[in-house]
Amino acid sequence: MKFKIAGIIILSLVLSACGRGGLDSFEAPANVSAEQIFEHACTKCHGSDGGGMLFGMMFKLDTEGKTPQDLANTILSGREGMPAFVNLSEPQRLALATYIKSLKR
């Protein structure tokens, strides 16, 4: 019972940390690399390698069969609990998407 309660608390903390920092609040200067954007905007939910959290059970990046443009569109519009990053420029979104495709998970 104690482990179940601890698990629920940990899961709640993880979920409350994710989904923040997108929408209108995240901005990156034009000269920032895609890797730096990923580090500051994506790793808290997707992990440093895109493999997700809790041993890949949550928020693992799914790039299979997706083009960089597909991923850039998801970055712009968000999805299923992931906020939209509307303040990133199209070149930044494409660079970030290309970086995400390059990650080894």
CATH number at residue 17: 1.10.760.10
CA-based nearest residue to 50, from 13, 89, 95, 96 = 96
- What is the pTM assigned to this prediction? 0.76
Give mean pLDDT, residues 13-42.
73
Give mean pLDDT, residues 75-84.
89
| CA pair distance 49, 71, nearest whole angstrom | 16
Q: Give the residue numbers spanning the domain of 50.
A: 2-102
Domain count, the chain: 1
| CA pair distance 99, 91, nearest whole angstrom | 12
User: Are the CB atoms for 76 and 98 separated by under 8 Å?
Assistant: no
- Per the listing, tokens 């970055």 go with 75
DSSP 28: -
Give mean pLDDT, residues 45-70.
87
- Give the pLDDT confidence score for residue 73 in this predicted structure: 97
